[in-house]
Structure formats: C-alpha cells, structure tokens
Amino acid sequence: MRPSELWRTTPFRLTLMNGAVFGLAVLALMGVIYQQTAGYLTRQIDGIVVSEARNLVSGGSEHLPERVTQAVATDARHIGYYGLFSAEGIWICGNVRMLPPRFPIDGVPREIHSPNLQPGSRALVERLPWGEILYVGHDALVLTGLRSIEVNALLFSGGLALVLGLAAAALLSVRPLQRIDNLREASRAALKGELGLRLPVSRRRDEIDMLAGVANAMMDEAERLLWEVKSVGENVAHDLRTPLNRLRALLYRVSQETRLEGPERQMIDQALAETDELLTRFRALQRIGEIERRDRQAFFEPVRLQSVLEHVIELHEPLAEDRGVELAADIAADAPQVQADPTLLFEAVSNVVDNALKFTPSGGKVCIRLVTRPEGPRIEVSDNGPGVPQAEREAVLQRFYRAARTRNEPGSGLGLSIVTAIARMHHFTLVLEDARPGLRVALNCWPRGLEA
C-alpha cells in the first residue's frame, strides 16, 4: 500500500479534516483564553501602577525623593520602575532616568514600549500638584509567562494531535483500502474471463459491500447473458448437424451412384469436402461448449503427465513422418502428478502438437518437453515453423481466428479455443511464446496466480 493511496482514501481525508477543524477550534479557544487573561492581568497591573503612584504622592512633596528611592530599593523582583523629574523634566531620582518621549502626562496607565521591558508593560506619567513629574511603571513579566505557557501547550498538544491524527487516519484507512485491494484482485480475475467469480461481500453491509453487491448482480446478469449467447451458438450447431449429415449422405450417394466425370465430379467432391469441413466446425463448437459446461471435479484424478505425453507422441509419430518433420521429446521423469482430467489433457496436447506438425514445413522439428518448475510441471511444445507474431498471440486463442501467414493450411481456427477451454477448466495457464524461430506453446500445470 503506497502513501499516495492512503491519502486518496475518504477515511484518511475525513480524519485529517476533522483533526484540522479540531486543531483550529483549540487554537481559537486558547486565543480567547489568552485575550481574556491578558486583559484581566493588564487591568490588575494598571491597578498596581495607579495605587503605587497614589501611595507615593499621598505624603505630599516632602520626602518624595526618599520614598521613590525606597520604592526602588524594596522592589526585590525588579519589576517596578519609578522616576521623579523636575517640572522641566530633569531627573531627580529613581531607576528611570529619562521620561519616555511622546508619552502623555495625564496620570492614565498605558502600555509602554521599551527595549528593557516585556511587551505589555504598563506605566503612567503624572504631573504633581507642585509641578514635579512622577513616572511609575510595571513590567509585564507575568504576561510573558502566560504567553510562553500557552505557546508551549499549543506546541505540545499540536504535535501530539498531528501524530495521533495521522496515525488514526492511517489506521482507519488501512482496512477499507485492504478490502478495496481484495475487490480489485477479484475483479481483475473476473476481467480475465473467470465468469463464475464474484466480489467478496462482508457481513457489515457497508457502502463497499453495497457496491460489491451491485457489481456482483451485474456479473450475474453478464454471465447469464453470455451463457445464453453461447448456448444459441451451440444449439444452432446441434440443430444443423442432422440436416448437414443428411446433406452429406445425399452428396455421397450422388457421387457414388451417378457416373459423373470431369468438372462435375470435381464439384461434387468439393461440395462433400466443404460439408465435412462444416461438420468438423460444428463438432468443435459443440465440444468447446461441452468442456465449458463440464463439472470441473467430476473427472479429475491424479495424472502422470509423462504417460499423457508418451501417448500423444505415439499417436503423432506416423503423421510427423508423413510430413517430414522430426518429432523429438524431452520428458522429465521426476515431474509431479497433477489433479486433472486425463482425456481432456490428452485432447489439449494433441491439438497443440497437431498445430505444430501442420504449420511446420517439411524438414522442420517439433519438440515436446515436460519440465519441472518450482510451481509445478510445465508442458512445452515448440516448433521451428513460421511462428505467431506477438500481435496475434491473443487472437489465435479466439474461436475461428487463424493467423494471416498460415491461412492457406487447412483448419477452422477452433483447436486452440478447445485448448483454452480445457486449460481454463483446470485453472492452468496457456502461454504462447516466441521459440526463435517458431512458436512455443506452454501449458503451466499449476493454478493461475501462483506465478512469481
């Protein structure tokens, strides 16, 4: 599972979005708390500043410098700022030696900005009844402390929320993603033609299950329609075979009982050959239908592939000799047995060997091999004939398709369709490869999907 996939899932995005909204709400809440607390503390500081100024002034002008000096001396935390200035603004005493520029002299506490003071510090400057100017200020250490507490809390809780949010989002998304992956796997197999496959539906009946249910219903319908279409073809083949047989018998009688000579005889013979060809095609079509409908397990038994191949070779040796093609074999004695229908396997390999002998020109070579792969045994039939170009390798498996370069050889284009049907029924894979030169047809005798 890639991170980009995780990001695209709805639970992941929803969780992150919820997290972001929650984070913003927390931020707003902290902001409001800070505003309220800072306002309250500022009012407190203002009160302190005003009452200190009042205390200092309450004794009158007498000993005021001493009281100011004392206030400075007793301020152990160094948060108080005091200054007494003459009517002209000349410093008399206190730890503030200069009046802040452009600061109103009206006895009202205000925020004061100075490099030595924390932001939010408050001060008042007041002209005393006897003309002197008094400065009383209070540093806002407490506000700075409050700010740093809030920033720390925000950083900590924000970081935690981010990590927890991402983890929760990932956790919530993994399960649906896995299920989607399963569905994807299942539909991929269905796309490859496994009509009986259905998408997994869990007992939860959530939105994914609903979609899988809809897809399954569609697949049911598609399968039903396909069977209908197929059976139409088979029914036609079945129904036409009787009249065709009769037609053939009739033609045969005509050819036997009339003493036709020359072109007329040739025409009758050609009509007979065409009828035979039609009958062969109908038989092959019916055979494919039979194989596709056959109950898979009914005829299955442990099969020694060596015997099947020996049988095929024995049967094809005379044909190979006739055509001047060398028929070689290389059969692994240790290849394991497979669960299969031996008659059908024989039919499949025969069809493939038949093709190889038919399409390989005289002097060529056909080799039948049985090899053992880690996944299971593999039957290979290779020849050094014309081969099938890459672009046509899928197509030659279809019914009636015959590759352009070999179209003048006899045949109806149904042999490989029968092989495909047999392979599919066994869950084996049929592979067409380039044998350089020629074609290699391989039957991987292990369940599809086991390949590395």
Ligand X SMILES: Nc1ncnc2c1ncn2[C@@H]1O[C@H](COP(=O)(O)OP(=O)(O)OP(=O)(O)O)[C@@H](O)[C@H]1O
Give the residue among 303, 297, 308, 298 at the shortest CA–CA distance from 338: 303
Taking CB within 5 to 8 Å according to partner kind, which of ligand X, Mg ion, none is near residue 19?
A: none
* Distant-in-sequence, close-in-space partners of 14: CB < 8 Å, separation ≥ 6: none
Angle ∠(129,130,136) on CA atoms, nearest 5? 70
Residue 407 beta carbon to ligand X: minimum distance, rounded to whole angstroms = 7
Say whether the peptide bond before residue 336 is cis (omega within 30 degrees of 0): no
Q: Which two tokens stand for residue 357?
A: 């002998």
Residue 436 beta carbon to ligand X: minimum distance, rounded to whole angstroms = 13
β-strand partners of 136:
82, 124
Residues numbered 350-379 forming contacts with Mg ion, rule: CB under 5 A? 355
Mark 315-343 as b/e (b = at least 16 C-beta within 10 Å). ebeeebeebebebeeeeeeebeebebbbe
CB 365 within 8 A of CB 329: no
Taking CB within 5 to 8 Å according to partner kind, which of ligand X, Mg ion, none is near residue 71?
A: none
CB 138 within 8 A of CB 48: yes
Neighbours of 7 (CB within 10 A): 13
Rounded to whole angstroms, the Cα distance separating 348 from 441 reads 11
Residue 388 beta carbon to ligand X: minimum distance, rounded to whole angstroms = 5
Residues numbered 319-378 forming contacts with ligand X, rule: CB under 6 A? 355-356, 359
Measured from the CB atom, is 42 or 350 closer to Mg ion? 350
The CA-atom distances, in angstroms, between 381 and each of 229, 315, 384, 438, 445 are: 33, 15, 11, 11, 14
Measured from the CB atom, is 23 or 411 closer to ligand X? 411
* 3-state DSSP percent of the chain in helix, strand and coil, to 5: 55, 15, 30
Give the residue among 442, 432, 448 at the shortest CA–CA distance from 391: 432
Measured from the CB atom, is 377 or 415 closer to Mg ion? 415
User: Shortest Cβ contact with ligand X: which residue?
Assistant: 415
Residues numbered 154-183 forming contacts with ligand X, rule: CB under 6 A? none
Taking CB within 5 to 8 Å according to partner kind, which of ligand X, Mg ion, none is near residue 388?
A: ligand X
Measured from the CB atom, is 308 or 357 closer to Mg ion? 357
Contact string (CB under 5 A) for Mg ion, positions 138-167, x = contact: ------------------------------
User: Is there binding between residue 385 and Mg ion (CB under 5 A)?
Assistant: no
Measured from the CB atom, is 430 or 445 closer to ligand X? 430
* Distant-in-sequence, close-in-space partners of 268: CB < 8 Å, separation ≥ 6: 251, 254, 255, 260
User: Is there binding between residue 415 and Mg ion (CB under 5 A)?
Assistant: yes
Measured from the CB atom, is 170 or 418 closer to ligand X? 418
CB 147 within 8 A of CB 33: no
Q: Which stretch binds Mg ion (CB under 5 A): 23-31, 185-193, 199-207, 412-420?
A: 412-420
* Distant-in-sequence, close-in-space partners of 373: CB < 8 Å, separation ≥ 6: 444, 446
Taking CB within 5 to 8 Å according to partner kind, which of Mg ion, ligand X, none is near residue 414?
A: ligand X
User: Is there binding between residue 442 and ligand X (CB under 6 A)?
Assistant: no
Contact string (CB under 6 A) for ligand X, positions 261-290, x = contact: -----------------------x------
Q: Which two tokens stand for residue 72?
A: 């400075």
Residue 416 beta carbon to Mg ion: minimum distance, rounded to whole angstroms = 6
Q: Which stretch binds Mg ion (CB under 5 A): 45-53, 369-377, 390-398, 415-423?
A: 415-423
Taking CB within 5 to 8 Å according to partner kind, which of ligand X, Mg ion, none is near residue 447?
A: none
Contact string (CB under 6 A) for ligand X, positions 378-417, x = contact: -----x-xxxx-------x-----xx--x----xxxxxxx
Q: Give me the residues that bind ligand X (CB under 6 A), please.
A: 284, 355-356, 359, 383, 385-388, 396, 402-403, 406, 411-417, 439
Q: Give me the residues that bind Mg ion (CB under 5 A), please.
A: 355, 415
